[in-house]
Amino acid sequence: MSAQLFFTTCGGEVARLNAVSYQPHMWGNKDPLPARNVRMMMACGGGKPTLYYYAFGQCAGCSGWHYAERMIKRPSSPSGHVCGGKCRAARGPSCECSCGGSNHGAN
């Protein structure tokens, strides 16, 4: 079993998001949608346009609400090996190293 962890950039630092849910991005929202984002497609069918819902959560650092930039899958028993460049350059969603996912795919 694995846990899904969500991260964003807040004040130039990587921050974990809590209480994450998915919501549509509303135009005029004070928080612009980041170029890197975690989205879920909602197919409507019947000729209607496809809707996208984006992961949105509360920042552990500032307590503000932000869109998620990355989602990491963390196994319940990770190896905990030392984090390095391979983790920061990773493209896949799984992370087992000591950073707990905060550095995973950050580059």
pTM over 0.85: no
Average pLDDT, the chain: 86
In a domain, 100, yes or no: no
Q: What percent of the chain has pLDDT over 70?
A: 91
Is the model's pLDDT at 55 over the cut of 90? yes
Residue 45: CB atoms within 10 A of its CB come to 6
Range of the domain at 54: 2-71
In a domain, 96, yes or no: no
**Of 16, 106, 2, 102, whose CA–CA distance to 66 is shortest?**
16
Give the 3-state DSSP-derived string for 77-94, with helices as H, strands as E and coil as C. Answer: CCCCCCCCHHHHCCCCCE
In a domain, 19, yes or no: yes
Is the model's pLDDT at 28 over the cut of 90? no
Q: DSSP 3-state assignment of 98?
A: coil
Sequence-ordered alpha helix ranges (H) in 12-99: 85-88
In a domain, 95, yes or no: no
In a domain, 65, yes or no: yes
Number of domains in the chain: 1
